[in-house]
Structure 1
Amino acid sequence: MTTLGAVYLPYLPPERLRSVAQAADEAGLEELWLWEDCFLEGGIATMSAALAWTERLRVGMGLLPVPLRNVALAAMEVATLDRLFPGRALVGIGHGVQDWMGQVGARAESPVTLLREYGTALRALLGGDRVTTKGRYVSLDGVALDWPPNTRPPLFVGAVGPRSLRLAGEIADGTLLTGGTSPDEVRRAKALVDEGRARRGEGAGDPHPIVVSIHAATGPDAAARLEAERVKWGYESIAERSVTGTPQQMADAIAAWAEAGATTVVLQPTPDDPDLESFIRFIAQEVRPLVP
């Protein structure tokens, strides 16, 4: 069964989040995903608020840039969220945009090495282990959480390039694909993730969710708003990177991403959506029942 979610874009002010999160919760949407883009909204703050304002909604963070946080601090934050809201916090980590990392003096010479060391240590800490490691970027000396999760939550890794996609399959419990990924690109990404999973050995046969965000718009001006997204992101075509139309048309289109290997499809509204709460209700109440 395909999970359906939506994105709350950080281009919107933080004070809008409460109304949108509660609309998603009340409408029965499965997941609401947040971004931590520099220099907009903090991921942990927005995630904890959205979880506190809702009852059943799963809230995802896609993603926390690893150069910005010490891994022990990230483990403390994720463990706290999981204990406060068991099973509802979905956390992704990744390289972050390298230009932004450079702006704050945190750019790593080898982002893949950093992500490997960081992700490996973070999973171990969240699993309740006492961790000692001295890598190129991550150093821990007998560190263990006093309040680890009762059950280790899944750790997602965001990836775009082949090396990072293989690494996601090797060290993570799930993979986040960048917004606007086409079905063909999902298929290629999944093959690389599976190569990484094959290296993993123990646990390689466990489920490995693939989460993809795709552009979405409804209403009479949907085509114009999606065209603006095409121009903004530099796509040759928006057709295989978006969904629009009637609920049935949107559900039929979403099936293409599911068939390509996505287990969760997250609909990304345009930043200028005129009524985001109504968009959320439309997705949850009219599109969701038509998605297998």
Structure 2
Amino acid sequence: MSDETEGGDDSTANAAADESVGPTWGIELTPEHPPDRIADLASLAESEGFDIAFASSHYFNRDPFVTLSRMVDTTDEIRLGPGVVNPYESHPVKLASQTATIDEISGGRGVFGVGAGDRSSLSNLGIERDRPLRRVLETFDLARELWDGETVTHEGTFTARDASLNVDPPSASIPVYVGAQGPHMLRMSAKHADGALINAAHPRDLEWAAGQIEQGLDARPDEYGEFESLAFASVSVAGDEATARESARPPVAFIVGGAAEPVLERHDIDRGVAESVSDALERGELHEAFGAVTPSMVDAFCIAGTTETVADRFDAVLEHVDGIVVGSPLGPDLEDAIERASEARSRTSR
């Protein structure tokens, strides 16, 4: 390094370093397909430049950790983890062990995506979603202690007595990303976790979420290090705009079905129309629910369209977050969608 560089303006050098890092790009792969198919998609995502691949967790799909073990075999560098598991269907100690195992077999590429879970899905299993914020916080606090080799006794929203792991994860610290949407979970994640997976796709929602996260960061201890906010966004990309938007209907229906009143008001979505979608889902009338999804709902809750359209939306989203997780449905053709999403990523100005 030259003397001139060493003596240069530190703020300019730091700004250049920050710009060189760029946003984090993740992808959500849903094990509605066999694990080997998902593993091949993870390999494609890695070759297309994605940084993290999350295997989503729903009781009606294939097991995310089994799927992640196959994703380990087909990848070399991309980080891998569940996105997201909840501490109601599985005990937090078990989740810590499963995540440590993925970190071990991947050579230190594990991440832990954890959240409170979907209330309606848990209700189907007869599980009450009690004290979600406290349970999520206690879950990843306990996991961190277990990953550090400690023996833990915990009495809180769940019980663990003299629990320890016979696993030594190679990561010095497995990153914890909290799936969050409401104000309290967003603020808690910013205060305590390594990152947030913000369940939103529209800049208006993400701008609001950024304000909540800023409040949490104000109370974040310095020793916790950097925090990363990622938009966990439903994306549907294809060569044809109408085809991409049509593929967005199913995930948008489920998002609308669980949307809070303030979110619907933010996008001027009629409460009655939203309730008709929710009611159809509860009755198991999926075709009816998907058909009730309106264009304004797609605009509010999914980044859908051609590569060019999606690139423009990515740029708008990145005004408010540190990166984007390209989430379900991806598009009508998964391989094509991953490639198009990567192309859209390369077209952003960041």
Structure 2 counterpart of 1:5 = 26
Structure 2 counterpart of 1:207 = 227
Cα pair 2:177 2:193 within 8 Å, conserved: yes
Please give the per-residue CA displacement for 1:164-200, whole angstroms capped at 9, x wherever unaligned.
222212321111122x431121122222223233334
Alpha-carbon shift at residue 93 of structure 1 (Å): 0.8
Q: Which runs of 5+ in 2 are unaligned?
A: 1-21, 257-263, 270-295
Q: Does 1:279 align with 2:337?
A: yes
CA distance in 1, matches of 2:253, 2:99: 36
Match of 1:91 among 107, 112, 118: 112
Number of aligned residues: 287
Greater RCO structure (CA 8 Å; 6+ sep) = 1
Structure 1 counterpart of 2:146 = 125
Map residues 165-184 of structure 1 onto 2, 5 A cutoff. Answer: 165-178=186-199, 180-184=200-204
CA distance in 1, matches of 2:94, 2:39: 26
Q: Does 1:61 align with 2:121?
A: no
Match of 2:329 among 270, 279, 282: 270
Going from structure 1 to structure 2, the CA distance change for 1:190 and 1:124 (only over 3 Å counts) comes to farther
Q: Does 1:163 align with 2:169?
A: no
Aligned-residue sequence identity (percent) comes to: 25
Structure with more of its chain in helix, by fraction: 2
Moved segments of 4+, more than 6 Å = none
CA distance in 1, matches of 2:139, 2:250: 37
Alpha-carbon shift at residue 217 of structure 1 (Å): 1.7
Map residues 1-292 of structure 1 onto 2, 5 A cutoff. Answer: 1-141=22-162, 143-150=163-170, 151-178=172-199, 180-203=200-223, 206-220=226-240, 221-226=243-248, 230=252, 233-234=255-256, 236=269, 237=296, 238-245=298-305, 247-260=307-320, 262-270=321-329, 273-284=331-342, 286-291=343-348, 292=350
CA-based RMSD: 2.6
Cα pair 1:5 1:265 within 8 Å, conserved: yes
CA distance in 2, matches of 1:40, 1:60: 16
Cα pair 1:66 1:95 within 8 Å, conserved: yes
Give the structure-1-normalised TM-score.
0.85
Give the structure-2-normalised TM-score.
0.72
Alpha-carbon shift at residue 228 of structure 1 (Å): 6.2
CA distance in 2, matches of 1:74, 1:7: 19
Q: Which runs of 5+ in 1 are unaligned?
A: none
Cα pair 1:177 1:212 within 8 Å, conserved: yes
